[in-house]
């Protein structure tokens, strides 16, 4: 079963006229496929698929769609050739007096020259009759001639054509569903302990924090300081003792006896053995520097 009643094919330059035809056909409850936002000029797989899913392919011929020097005309011709390859699918409309090239020039065309938003032409009536015939609908011309305010005439037409889409009551709009409030989140209940038959329940586990040993006063520091102090005092005492140790007796004024007592004979110069030393060695006062 066809998905669309009509698949409309037009040049981009004829978009305004195409929109007018689409609105009029949809007002008669025809399902029309028309890509009003088309910008491509090469047929796509979707274009061919929509044409195959339509009962009729309606091609709008005009000066722009017949101009083969324009890439957009290639799109129109490609879809038209595809529809013509199927029996009873192609429908043609002339928006002006331009004649398309063969083989489309040999096929019937419905003239819509001069049709506007408030003006209908005979070619439009003939086109609607043909579309109605293909779709199993009758007397659409009579419906078009009824005025919008003629409620009695429209009701009579619907009574005579009860199965026509125009006679079907519009589907009631679905009432907006109230927002569903999410149920409140309940706190998860604690699991109930199960009692095992024949087993003694284990005693509750007691947790005791580890005890931290009390810190004792650090006595190592003072001991080290005392030891260092003792060592320093000892070093001072040893230094003082070494500085007060008596040395050799003074040479001048000590006499040869003392010198001989400390130095054996023959190991000291002879002038030091004289009873009296030279004047340069005359003894002076001894200064005690140990105090």
Residue 131 forms part of a structural domain: yes
| Residue at a domain's end among 104, 137, 170 | 137
Residue 62's nearest CA partner among 23, 26, 33, 21 is: 21
Residue 78 lies in a domain: yes
Q: Which residues, other chains included, contact 163 with Cβ-Cβ below 8 Å and sequence gap of 6+?
A: none
Residues shown for the chain:
291
Preceding peptide of 200 cis, ω within 30°:
no
| Span 106-124, pLDDT tens digits | 999 999 998 988 899 999 9
Final residue of a structural domain among 105, 137, 169: 137
The C-alpha atoms of residue 245 and residue 227 are separated, in whole angstroms, by 28
Instruction: Give the per-residue pLDDT at 139.
Output: 94
What phi and psi values does residue 207 have, to the nearest 5 degrees?
A: -110, 120
- pTM surpassing 0.85? no
- Reference 74, options 33, 112, 43; nearest CA is 43
Does residue 180 belong to any structural domain of this protein? no
Last residue of a domain, one of 86, 108, 137: 137
Please report whether residue 118 resides in a domain.
Answer: yes
- In sequence order, what are the beta bridge partners of 60? 93
Please give the order of strands across the beta sheet that includes 4-9: 32-33, 4-9, 54-61, 90-94, 110-111
Structurally, the chain folds into a number of domains equal to: 2
Contact present, 139 and 124 (Cβ < 8 Å)? no
Q: What pLDDT score does 63 carry?
A: 95
Is position 104 within any domain? yes
Would the pLDDT of 162 be above 50?
yes
Q: Which domain holds residue 22?
A: 4-137
pLDDT value of residue 223: 78
pLDDT at 110 (0 to 100): 96
Task: Give, in order, the Cα–Cα distances in Å from 114 to each of 95, 121, 123, 130, 152.
Answer: 8, 7, 10, 20, 31
- Which secondary-structure segment (H or E) carries 91? strand 90-94
Residue 216 lies in a domain: no
Q: Give the pLDDT confidence score for residue 249 in this predicted structure.
A: 46
CB contact burial 231-241 (16+ within 10 A = b; e otherwise): eeeeeeeeeee
SS3 state at 67? coil
Residue whose tokens read 């038959």: 197
Residue 214 lies in a domain: no
The 10 Å Cβ neighbour count of residue 273 is: 14
**Distance between first and last Cα of the chain:** 137
pLDDT cut 90: percent of the chain above it: 53
Q: Is 237 a residue whose pLDDT tops 90?
A: no
Residue 25's CATH number = 3.40.50.10140
Cα separation of 46 and 180, whole Å? 40
Higher-confidence position of 257 and 67: 67
Q: Which helix (H) or strand (E) holds 111?
A: strand 110-111
pLDDT tens for each residue of 31-51: 999 998 999 999 999 999 999
> Do residues 6 and 131 lie in contact, with contact meaning Cβ atoms separated by under 8 Å?
yes
With respect to residue 11, please indicate whether it lies within any of the assigned structural domains. Answer: yes
CA distances from 185 to 146, 182, 248 (A): 62, 9, 109
């Amino acid at each position: 079963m066809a998905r669309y009643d009509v698949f409309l094919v037009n040049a981009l330059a004829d978009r305004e006229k195409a929109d007018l035809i689409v609105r009029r056909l949809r007002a008669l409850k025809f399902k029309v496929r028309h890509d009003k936002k088309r910008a491509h000029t090469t047929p796509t797989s979707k274009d061919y698929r929509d044409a195959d899913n339509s009962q009729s392919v309606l091609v709008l011929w005009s000066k722009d769609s017949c101009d083969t020097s324009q890439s957009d005309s290639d799109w129109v011709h490609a879809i038209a050739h595809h529809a013509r390859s199927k029996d009873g699918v192609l429908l043609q409309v002339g928006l002006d007096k331009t004649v398309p090239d063969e083989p489309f020039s040999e096929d019937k065309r419905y003239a819509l020259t001069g049709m506007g938003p408030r003006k209908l032409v005979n070619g439009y009536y003939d086109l609607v009759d043909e579309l109605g015939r293909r779709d199993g609908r009758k007397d659409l011309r009579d419906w078009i001639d009824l005025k919008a305010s003629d409620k009695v005439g429209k009701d009579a037409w619907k009574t005579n054509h009860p199965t026509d889409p125009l006679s079907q009551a519009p589907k009631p709009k679905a009432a907006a569903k109230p927002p569903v409030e999410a149920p409140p989140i309940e706190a998860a209940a604690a699991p109930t302990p199960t009692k095992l038959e024949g087993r003694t329940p284990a005693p509750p586990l007691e947790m005791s924090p580890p005890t931290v040993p009390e810190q004792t006063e650090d006595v190592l520091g003072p001991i080290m300081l005392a030891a260092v102090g003792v060592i320093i005092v000892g070093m001072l005492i040893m230094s003082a003792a070494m500085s007060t140790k008596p040395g050799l007796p003074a040479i001048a004024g000590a006499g040869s006896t003392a010198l001989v007592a400390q130095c054996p004979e023959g190991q000291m110069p002879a002038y030091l053995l004289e009873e009296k030393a030279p004047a340069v060695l005359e003894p002076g006062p001894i200064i005690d520097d140990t105090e």
